[in-house]
Every structure is written in C-alpha cells, then in structure tokens.
Amino acid sequence: MNYGQLISGLILSIGGLFLSGLSLFNSLAEARWVGLFYGIPALVLGLVILFYKKEDKIEQIKQGRKK
C-alpha cells in the first residue's frame, strides 16, 4: 500500500465518521440529512480506497518492468 492511498483513505474515512457522527447530534433536521448524505458516501469511499488491493499489484508489475 502506498502512502497516498493510505492518507486519502484515512482522511475520507475519518471525515465520513465525523460528518455522520456530527449529523446524529445536530438538532436541525435538514442539517442531519445533509451530514448523512455526505458522511456515509465519504466513509464508504475511504474504506474502499484503504482496502483496494489491485493498485498494489499494478505497482508491483510496474516496478518489476523497471529492473
């Protein structure tokens, strides 16, 4: 796993958790739905980026060709 994949996955996951958690404690109904609308996809996208293994295989193939 490269550092860019790790950093972007963690930022999106933490941001999604933060937005979802913040929306659950918000008293305004509109803000609650907006927070969930952006928080849940950000969380899912962050987890997909973190656990995406095909990129690692592509990097190994690229490094093998350079040698």
Phi, psi of 55 (to 5 degrees): -65, -35
What's the pLDDT score for residue 67? 57
Domain map (residue ranges) of the chain: 3-66
Taking only the tens place, the pLDDT of each residue in 22-45 is 988 887 888 888 889 999 999 999
Q: Contact at 8 Å (CB) between 46 and 16?
A: yes
Please give the residue that has the higher pLDDT: either 15 or 57. 15
Could you tell me the pTM of the whole model?
0.75
Return the top range by mean pLDDT from 14-23, 29-38, 49-58. Answer: 14-23
